[in-house]
Amino acid sequence: MNEMKIKEGNKERIIGVAIIAVVIVVTIIVVMLLNGGNKSYKKVYVATGGGKEDFIADKDVNNIMRKKFGLDVVYDSWSNGKTVSAPLVREYVHLGNSSIPEYEWSVNNDSCSKYDVLFTSDERFYDYYKLSPADGEAERSYVKDGSLTLNTPIVIYSWKDVADTLVKEGIVTLENGTYYITNMNKLLDYILEGKTWADLGLNSIYGKININSTDPVTSSPGATYYGLLMSIMTGGDMSDEKIDAVLPKLKEFYLKSGYMNNTPADLFEMYLKQGQGSKPMIVDYEKSIINLATSDKDAYDAVKDKMVILYPRPTVWNSHCVATFTDVGNEYLKVFDDKEIQQIAWSKYGFRVGVTGGNYDVSKVKVNGIPQEITSITSGLKMDAYNKIIDYLK
C-alpha cells in the first residue's frame, strides 16, 4: 500500500515538473516572439534636431523599427547650427571615445565615433550639409542618400471672430471647410500701416493688428516664417537685388511685431491659454494642433469650436530631413516608407510623410479645418538668403 502511494507521489511530481517545464518553454517562446525572436539588431546612431522628440521616442515606432527592420536606433540631440560648425562625431556630445582629445575630433578620424544618420529639423541645413564646407566650417561626412521625411506646413492659428473679420476684409477665404489667407500682402500692409482691430470693426480686441511669431534671429520656426514673408514680399523673385530691395520692409515688419518668444511650444501654449484678446494670431506648425488633439483631448475640446487654422497661400514646409552616411543609415531611411510608421507620424504627431497627398487620412485626426493636401507651397530659402535676412534683422 505504502509502495503504491510512493509510486503515485513520484508520478504526480513528474507530472508537476513536466507541467512547469512546458510553462517555462512556452513563456520563453512567447517572450522571444514578442521581442522579434533571437535576431540581433543593428545599431543606428542618429544625430537629430529638435521638434520631433515625441515621435522618435514613441514605443510603437521603435517596436516597428526593431521587429520589422531589425534596427536599434540611438538618438543624440544635435542642433541645426552645430551641423555647420561642429564635427559630426559622438565625441562632440560627450558620448563617444573620451580618450580622444578635442583637437582630433573629426569625421575623417577613424578612431572617432561616427553617426550613421543626420536628422535635421530644417531643410536648409540638410541642403547646406551636402555642400563642401566653407572656410572655418567643420569637415562633413559624405552623404550617401537622403530625403525629406517628416513635413508640416507653417500655419497661422487664430479665432473664429478674427477669421470672420478677415473674410469680410477680403484677406481670408473659406473653401471646403478650410480657411486660407488668399491676400497675405493686404494683411501685411495693414500691419505695416498700424491699423487696429477696431479699424476693422472688431472692437473686442484691443490694439494694433499683429501676428505673433518666434524670433527669426534665434528660432528656426521664426526664420522659416520670415523666409515665407520674404518670398511673398518679393513675389517669389529671390534674386539678390529683389531681396535687398525688400529687406527694409521686412525689418519694419519685424520691429512692429514687438516681443517674440524663442520657442514655438511656449507661444502655442500662450495662444491656447490667453485666448484671442492677447493672441489674435500666432505663427506655428500644423502639427501642433494635431498633437494636442491626440495627446490632450480635453484641452482640444475646450478650444476646438473657437479656434481657427489659417493656411497662408502660399505657405512653406518645415521638413525634417534624413541624410545618411552608411549602409545601415540607408536602412533607417527606408523605415519612413513604411505605412505603419507614416500613419503614426500623421495621426499622433501631425507630420505629413510626403509633400503631396501622402499616406494619411485627415479625417482620422478629427481636427477641424485641416485640408487633405497642401497645394500652394513656396520653396524654402537657401542658407545664404536666410543668413542675409537674419543678419539684417539683427
CATH number for the domain including 265?
3.40.190.10
Residue 347 lies in a domain: no
Chain center to CA of 101:
34
Give domain status of residue 220, yes or no: yes
**Is residue 201 pLDDT above 70, yes or no?**
yes
pLDDT surpassing 90 at residue 197: yes
Range of the domain at 254: 153-317+371-393
37 belongs to a structural domain: no
Give a yes or no: residue 383 inside a domain.
yes
Residue 346 binned pLDDT confidence (cut-offs 50, 70, 90): very high
- The model's confidence at residue 366, banded by pLDDT at 50, 70 and 90, is confident
**And the C-alpha cell for 90?**
559622438
> Is 145 inside a domain boundary?
no
- In terms of average pLDDT, the best of 10-14, 136-140, 362-366 is 136-140
- Is the pLDDT score of 102 beyond 60? yes
Q: Average pLDDT, stretch 296-317?
A: 94
For the record, the C-alpha cell of 144 comes out as: 550617401
Residue 203: inside a domain, yes or no? yes
- pLDDT on residue 218: 87
* Average confidence score pLDDT of the chain: 89
Sign for the pseudo-dihedral over CA of 253, 256, 262, 265: negative
Of 32-36, 150-154, 178-182, 310-314, the one with minimum mean pLDDT is: 32-36
Cα 189 to Cα 29, 183, 184, 273, distances in angstroms: 68, 10, 9, 28
Tell me how far CA of residue 63 lies from CA of 3, 56, 121, 124, 341, in angstroms: 56, 11, 23, 31, 10
pLDDT of residue 14: 62
Question: What is the β-pairing status of strands 42-48 and 307-312?
Answer: unpaired
The answer to whether residue 331 sits within a structural domain is no
* 15 within a domain of the structure (yes/no): no
| Number of independent structural domains in the chain | 1
Q: Return the top range by mean pLDDT from 7-16, 257-266, 312-321.
A: 312-321
3-state DSSP assignment of residue 312: strand
